[in-house]
Structure 1
Amino acid sequence: MGIHWFILSAVAVILAQRWLFRGFAMKRVSYTRTFSVNRCFEGDRIEMIERLVNRKALPLPWLRVESLLHTGLKFESGANFDVSNGQFYQNHKSLFSLMGYKQLTRRHAVQCVQRGCYRLTGASLTTGDLFGLFKKWTQVPLQEELLVYPLPAEHPELRLPSRSWQGDITVRRWIVEDPFYVTGVRDYQAGDPLKSVNWSATARAGKLQVHRRDYTADYRLLVLLNVEDHEDMWEVVNNTPLIEQGIRYAAGLLQYATEQGLETGFVTNGHDLDVPGVPVATPMGSGNEHLTYLLECMAKLVIARTVPFDELLLQLAEEREERCDLVILSAFMSDKIALAVERLRRAGHSAEWLPIEERREGGAA
C-alpha cells in the first residue's frame, strides 16, 4: 500500500503544481526591453537591456522571451540567450528563471552595423510548470525606438568640388549687397540712400561720396541623393550597399557644410519610413540642431524609388525659387538627369555631380 500512496501523492502534487502554475505563473509578472541610448551612429556599440520583475511569491521555474530583430543590430556572444540569423531578421531568445518577489536585469552588448530606424514593438513570453506538462504564452507590447545615423564620410573621401560654399569667399553672383561689408567709397548715384553717404570722404572730394559695399555669398547648400543604382532601373534597388555609401556621402557633406556655417537641406527620391511613396525634401536650416534633424531623416530613409530622379530635379527647378549650391549624389549621370541639371543651372542654381562609388575594403571608396 505504501507505494500506491506514494504514487497517488506524487500525481496529486504534479497536478496541483500544474494547476497552480497554469493559473498564476504569469500573474504580476512584467517584462521591459530598452536600449542604453536612443540615438547613435553606424559602428557604435550600445546595450540592449532586459528587465524581468516577479511581484508574487510563486517563482518562475523558466521563462523564454522571443522576438524578431533586424540583422543591422549584431549581438555579441553571451550566456542565457540565443540568436538565429536570417538574411534580414534574427530571432532573439532569452531564458530566465526567477524566484518570488525578485527582479532580474540582463544587458546584451550590441553593435549597430547598419543605419536605420529599429523599433521594438513586442515580445512573446512563454512559461510552464516544473515538469513541462503545460506551456503558457502571452504577447507583451513594447514601445522602443533606436535611430542609427549614417556614419558621415570623411572629408578627403568626398572629393569636394571647388565652389563658393567651401569657404568664406566673396562672389559676384545673384547675391545682394552686404550692408556690413564696406570696401571703399564711390560717387553718389541717383537712388542711393542718404544713410550710405560717407561725409568724411565727401568733404575731402568736394562732392557726395557713398560707401561701396561688396557682394558676399548667401551660403545655401542643397544635397540631392539619387537612390537609383543604375540608369535602366525599374522599381527595385539591387545594389543597396552602393546607395548606403551615397547616404554616408550626404551625411559627410551636410556635416561639413554645417561646420562652415551654411544653411543646408536634403532631398532624395527615396522615402521616409513613416511616409511611403513621397520623396524626402527637408526645409533649409543651419546649426547642430538642424544637422541632427537631417541625420534623423537619413536614419529613417527607405532605399526605394518614389519618382525617377530626373523628374525630381525638374520639379525642384520649377518649385524652388531660392537659389542654392546643389551637390548631386548619383551612381550615374544619364542624358535625362544631365538635361534636368542644366535646367537647374539656367534657373540660377550652381550644380555639381559627385559620383557614388563602391566602398572598398578598409572603408575607402
Structure 2
Amino acid sequence: MVWYWILPILLLIAPLVWPGIWFRRVQSSIESTASITKRECAVGDFVQLEICIQQHRGLPIPYLHLTLHAPEGTAFNKEGDLRYLEWTSYLLPGQQISFVCQLYAMRRGPKSLRDICSIEIHEGFGLRRFRLSPHFPEQLGVYPDAASSQTLHSIWQALTGTRMTQRWILPDESLFKDVRPYVAGDPPKYFAWKTIARTGDWWVKQFETTTSEEWVVILNAQMQNPYWMEADTPTFDRLCALLLATVSQWQRGERGNSLFFASNALLSNYPQKHWYGSVTFGRLRSLLAVLESYPTCSLIDVLQEARRFSTSPRTPWLIVGAFFSAEQEQWMEAEKRRGRPIEIIKLPRWKEEVENDTPITAER
C-alpha cells in the first residue's frame, strides 16, 4: 500500500526537482559554434552560415529551438522577403547537430552578424529555460553594386570627352604629340591634313595621355551643412557603386599607377580615420563594402588631410559626392588656382533624381 502513495508523490515532485538537476548537468556540457564561409560578398551573392550544437555528456535535451534573424539589407532567399528562420529539434548525449543556411546580400554596406542567432533549450516541461548565442564574425561586408552602363557611359564621356583638353585624372589620350607616316588601317579621322598638304605624303597624328601616375580619389559622405545633420544611405550606396565602377574602368587602361583614397564616411572601430593611403582596387572595394553612410567630418577636413599627405602639390584629385557647400566649392577653386588638377563628379540625391530627373555632372 505504501508504494501506491509514493508513486503519486514522486510524480508530483519530479517536475519540481527535474528542471534543476537537468539545468546543472546540461549547462556545462552543451557547446555551440557559428561559422561563415566568407566575410565579403557582392550584392546578389550569398554566404553560407553554419551553426553547430554539441552535447558532450550528461542528460538529453528534449527541446531545442533555433531562431535566425537576417540583418537589414540581407535575406535568406534571392527574392529578399525571407528574413526569419526557425528550427526545432532535440539533442541526445554525445550527439552533434548542424544547421546550414544561405544568407543573400541585398544591399551594400556592413551587416552586423553579432546577434542574429538565438538558441533556446529547456527540459521538456518548459519550466527551466536558457539561451545560447553562437558568435559569428562581427560583420559581413557587401561590395557596392555595379553602376549601370548607361550612367557610367555618360560620366565617362563627361570626364574624358573627345575634345583636345588636358585631363589629369582619367585616361584622355588626346593631347597632340607628333605625326608619323601613315600605316594601312589607321583611322582617317587622325590624318594630319596640314602636314599631308605640305609634304605630299600621308601622315597621321600621334597623341599622348595626360594622366598622372599618382592620383587621389575622395568620397564625400556629407549631405548637408553642417555635416552631422543628415546621412543618406541610398545616395551613399550609389556613390560607392559609381566610384568603384569609375576606378575599375580607369585601371583597365592605366595599370600600375598609384591610387590613394580618402573619405569622411564612418569606418567602424576607426571613426577618426579619413586618409587610407595607397590602396589597390581590391582594397578599395573592401573599404567601400564596410564604410557607413554617416559623415564624421566636413569635406574640407578631408581635403586638408589629403593635401597634407599628397606627395606633390600637383597630385590630381577625383572627388565624388552628392553635396558641395559654397565654402567647399570656394576651397576647391582656390586649390585649383594653386595648380592642382581636380575632377568633380556630382551625383544627384536619390529623391532629387526621382523628382527632377537631375543628370549626373562631371566637371574639372
Separation of aligned partners in 1, 2:31 and 2:330? 60
Q: Larger % of helix: which?
A: 2
Separation of aligned partners in 1, 2:101 and 2:243? 32
How far is the alpha carbon of 1:275 from its aligned partner? 1.0
Alignment of 1:1-365 (within 5 A): 4-15=5-16, 17-56=18-57, 58-65=59-66, 70-76=71-77, 83=84, 95-121=88-114, 125-137=119-131, 140-158=134-152, 159-160=155-156, 161-162=159-160, 163=167, 165-167=169-171, 169=173, 217-230=211-224, 232-260=225-253, 261=255, 262-279=257-274, 281-285=275-279, 290-317=280-307, 319-322=309-312, 323-358=314-349
Write out per-residue CA displacement over residues 11-34 of structure 1, whole angstroms, 9 at most, x where no aligned residue: 354345324312212332111122
CA contact (8 A) 2:110 2:292 kept: no
CA contact (8 A) 1:124 1:137 kept: yes
User: Which residue number in structure 2 is paired with residue 199 of structure 1?
Assistant: none
TM-score, normalised on structure 1?
0.71
CA change 1:183–1:27 in 2 (3 A) is farther
Matched residue of 2:229: which SS? Answer: coil
CA change 1:7–1:308 in 2 (3 A) is same
Identity %: 17
Query: Which segments of 5 or more consecutive residues in structure 1 lack a partner in the other structure?
Result: 84-91, 173-180, 185-213
How far is the alpha carbon of 1:104 from its aligned partner? 1.3
Q: Which residue identity lines up with residue 105 of structure 1 in the other structure?
A: S
Separation of aligned partners in 2, 1:233 and 1:138? 44
CA change 1:256–1:216 in 2 (3 A) is closer
CA contact (8 A) 1:38 1:146 kept: yes
Separation of aligned partners in 2, 1:63 and 1:234? 48
Query: Which segments of 5 or more consecutive residues in structure 2 lack a partner in the other structure?
Result: 161-166, 181-207
CA change 1:35–1:64 in 2 (3 A) is same
CA contact (8 A) 1:313 1:340 kept: no
CA change 1:315–1:54 in 2 (3 A) is closer
Separation of aligned partners in 1, 2:67 and 2:252? 44
How far is the alpha carbon of 1:94 from its aligned partner? 5.0
Say which is worse superposed, 59-68 or 29-38, in terms of deviation.
Answer: 59-68
CA contact (8 A) 1:121 1:141 kept: yes
Matched residue of 1:267: which SS? Answer: strand
How far is the alpha carbon of 1:246 from its aligned partner? 0.9
User: Which residue number in structure 2 is paired with residue 200 of structure 1?
Assistant: none
CA contact (8 A) 1:222 1:327 kept: yes
Q: Which residue identity lines up with residue 27 of structure 1 in the other structure?
A: S
CA change 1:164–1:24 in 2 (3 A) is same
CA change 1:315–1:20 in 2 (3 A) is closer
Matched residue of 1:274: which SS? Answer: coil
CA contact (8 A) 1:314 1:344 kept: no
User: Which residue number in structure 2 is paired with residue 194 of structure 1?
Assistant: none
Q: Which residue identity lines up with residue 49 of structure 2 in the other structure?
A: M
Separation of aligned partners in 1, 2:69 and 2:261? 32
Write out per-residue CA displacement over residues 42-68 of structure 1, whole angstroms, 9 at most, x where no aligned residue: 221222211111222522112344677
Write out per-residue CA displacement over residues 300-323 of structure 1, whole angstroms, 9 at most, x where no aligned residue: 212222222134324434552433
Separation of aligned partners in 1, 2:261 and 2:281? 10
Matched residue of 2:145: which SS? Answer: coil
User: Which residue number in structure 2 is paired with residue 209 of structure 1?
Assistant: none
Matched residue of 1:132: which SS? Answer: coil
CA contact (8 A) 1:56 1:101 kept: yes
Separation of aligned partners in 2, 1:118 and 1:333? 29
Matched residue of 1:283: which SS? Answer: strand
Q: Which residue identity lines up with residue 134 of structure 1 in the other structure?
A: R
Q: Which residue identity lines up with residue 153 of structure 1 in the other structure?
A: A
CA change 1:82–1:39 in 2 (3 A) is closer
Q: Which residue identity lines up with residue 52 of structure 1 in the other structure?
A: I
Q: Which residue identity lines up with residue 220 of structure 1 in the other structure?
A: E
Separation of aligned partners in 2, 1:341 and 1:134? 65
Matched residue of 2:124: which SS? Answer: coil
Aligned length: 309
How far is the alpha carbon of 1:227 from its aligned partner? 0.9
How far is the alpha carbon of 1:273 from its aligned partner? 1.0
How far is the alpha carbon of 1:146 from its aligned partner? 2.2
Q: Which residue identity lines up with residue 240 of structure 1 in the other structure?
A: T
TM-score, normalised on structure 2?
0.71
